[in-house]
Amino acid sequence: MIKPHGSDTLNPLYVADDAKRAALEAEAANLKSIVVCSQAAANAVMMGSGYFNPLTGFMNLADSMSVAEKMVTTDGLFWPVPIVNVVEDASGIEPGMRIALKDPNVDGNPVLAIQTVEAVETATDEQMAFMTDKVYRTDDMNHPGVKAFNTVGKTFISGPIQVLNYSYFANEFPETFRTAMEIRELIAKNGWNKVVAFQTRNPMHRAHEELVRMAMDRENADGAVIHMLLGKLKPGDIPADVRDAAIRKMAELYFPPNSVEITGYGYDMLYAGPREGVLHAVFRQNMGATHLIVGRDHAGVGDYYGGFDAQAIFHDEVPDGALEIGIFEADHTAYSRELGEVIMMREAPEGHKKESFVFLSGTKVREMLSNGEDLPPEFARPEVAKILMGFYQSQK
């Protein structure tokens, strides 16, 4: 199986030993505590789950600046985005202390992790602007990732962590949330060698479904892991439980048995386009995938990024050998009435009419579903559309 990123074995930060975890929970009750921001909580879950191997905790300011500038930490580890615990007020927190990190996303703010503080550093406005520009390629506060990064404070608390639970993900999505370790076990159990990973924060329409098939066929893959984001999204995105139900129905009816695993991970969307595409590759390698599908506007939002910037970054900025996972570069995919099948548009035969493709904007899809109108079968499987229609009509 493909090696994890940065080490020979996966080193998750979740404390799996029940006795050790109970002792840490008891210790946490007497520690200074802070309620972290949602992104820091998600970072902790990803480190606990093994997805952010080989990180041992939150980055300091020097590493964050280095990663933002050139996608490498000060000690040479390739990494595409800063993984940080940033707060507004770190009063009373000093290097050498152990502090309890409380979960902002669970009622009662239970302790999510314990951090051993190595440094407490406040970034300048110029440093925050530099990191924002490098990671998000924009300083527009209307960008949801830019806004999230720049509204939680400027003080970086760095140091290793011990993770005590997986926040709300394991409880709210027990059939879907899987750690990187668990997915590696699934892959081994299935006897798969080549594995395609498909990233999604949306339900899968016909084009997505066929894209997974194309990637599996062309990479001669044994199976695919459909890996959905379960964390915080922007307003208007479809909730994770609805996406989960729709994707499971599609896989159940339209893929061969034992060819697809439906899983999810606990993270908040950054909408960082190219940089987030690289992060997606890092943690898919950690979960055991040999290939990641990177499509049009991968991890993007609005018109902040070019349609294929998230593919170009792997050629232009990711050093050779930095990652072992392969990238399957996908074009816009749509159903062609002329050919009677879903194809990638760049592969349309000469003379193919653009108007033959079935396109629906997200706005049009939401409007049709809200009105109880059936989506064209060329665009969405009827069983999937039914689940989505139920959600949109419940929102009236």
Single out the residue of 222, 138, 227 nearest to residue 180, CA to CA: 227
Paired tokens of 346: 């760049």
| Catalytic residue flag (residue 381) | no
Instruction: Tokens 């629906």: give the residue.
Output: 360
If DSSP codes are grouped into helix, strand and coil, which group holds residue 199? strand
Name the active-site residue from 21, 98, 201, 213: 201
If you ran DSSP here, which 8-state letter would residue 171 be given? H
Instruction: Tokens 């404070």: give the residue.
Output: 153
Q: How far apart are CA 37 and CA 85, in angstroms?
A: 8
Name the active-site residue from 11, 109, 193, 202: 202
Q: How far apart are CA 196 and CA 201, in angstroms?
A: 17
| Catalytic residue flag (residue 201) | yes
Q: Are 120 and 155 in contact (CB under 8 A)?
A: yes
Terminal-to-terminal C-alpha distance of the chain: 48
Q: Annotated active-site positions, please?
A: 201-202
